[in-house]
Amino acid sequence: MQKKYDAKKMVETAEHFFVSLGMSPLPQTFWQRSLLEKPRDREVECHASAWDLGMTGDLRVKMCIRVEGDDFLTIHHELGHDYYFQQYAALPPLFQSGANDGFHEGIGDTIALSVTPAYLKQIGLVDGFVDDPKADLNRLLQRALDAVAFLPFGKLIDEWRWRVFDGRTPPASYNASYWELRKKYQGIAPPVPRSEADFDPGAKYHVAANVPYTRYFIARILQYQFHRALCRAAGYAGPLHQCSIYGNAAAGQKLIAMLKLGASKPWADALFTISGERTMDAGALLDYYAPLSAWLDEQNRGERCGWD
């Protein structure tokens, strides 16, 4: 609030990041037709989403933006979709899609990894940033509690769905199967007794809306691989979690070249365009969180981790 940010300025700031990499500003219709704030006169679905209406360049986002850090990163995620739409717009409609679903979900999150404290100071959003090792670990831990802890959940949602679709999970076991998978992959149990009179999977938007979820699991791997590749293209040689590609033309050219391919090439070719690699590699995620991993190993020395 002290910096006089509102919903529009948050989106403009995210837009400027993409523009700094060599992409075009969003069309004027984006600002006229997008939903950026929750209306006061009616109920709307506030789940954030990005759109290219009719594949005509009518780019929009639909989001009830709150002036806070989480929504600032979410805006980068949604604009990642819109800028993907923008870059492959010249392709035939058949190819106007991501190289795979994980690519589309991972672009904006890749940019969000460059929203570092040093970047925020550079654009004047924070004052007096000091490179403090403890604060650095705190930021890594906060991000890991979101991104890394998400991975088992990202896997189990579609595993549950596929079991329903292929008949391995009958209707009489919908809820029990869901909690079996949550215990297996996440090590958690419901806080109160549940039965088949409950339908806890349906509380997840993507289950109720029939939106495939593996894309988010793949994106969590790819975003770090993209980030590492773009930081290398930018000539960055420091800790991966401190890298920001803001304003770097070389990194921007790599990203744009991959985005322009859309679905016109196999995803491995698109990955090669940006990274020189043809296989998805979780090693970049490990590189990013290496300082946190070393600290946690020390803190947990002698402890038994995991669950039965």
Do the domain assignments include residue 235?
yes
Distance separating alpha carbons of residues 137 and 139, to the nearest angstrom? 5
Number of domains the chain is built from: 1
Do the domain assignments include residue 289?
yes
For residue 90, the model assigns a pLDDT of 96
Higher pLDDT pick, 306 / 303: 303
Do the domain assignments include residue 49?
no
Do the domain assignments include residue 114?
no
223 and 103 in contact (C-beta within 8 Å)?
no
Per-residue pLDDT band at 307 (split at 50, 70, 90) = confident
Residue 1 has pLDDT above 60, yes or no: no
Distance separating alpha carbons of residues 103 and 215, to the nearest angstrom? 8
Do the domain assignments include residue 29?
no
Q: Which residue shows structure tokens 């929750």?
A: 38
Per-residue pLDDT band at 305 (split at 50, 70, 90) = confident
Q: What is the mean pLDDT of residues 32-52?
A: 94
> How many other C-beta atoms can be found within 10 angstroms of the C-beta atom of residue 302?
4
Q: What predicted TM-score, i.e. pTM, was given to this entire model? A: 0.92
- Looking at the DSSP assignment, which residues form a beta bridge with residue 60? 51
Express each pLDDT in 125-156 by its tens digit: 888 766 788 989 999 999 999 999 999 999 99
Distance separating alpha carbons of residues 86 and 256, to the nearest angstrom? 10
For residue 2, the model assigns a pLDDT of 65
The mean pLDDT value of the chain amounts to 95
Do the domain assignments include residue 85?
no
Do the domain assignments include residue 110?
no
CA-nearest of 134, 131, 101, 99 to 116 is 131
Do the domain assignments include residue 226?
yes
Show the tokens assigned to 293.
């991993």
For residue 130, the model assigns a pLDDT of 66
Its domain, for residue 233, covers: 129-299
Distance separating alpha carbons of residues 285 and 93, to the nearest angstrom? 33
Express each pLDDT in 234-271 by its tens digit: 999 999 999 999 999 999 999 999 999 999 999 999 99
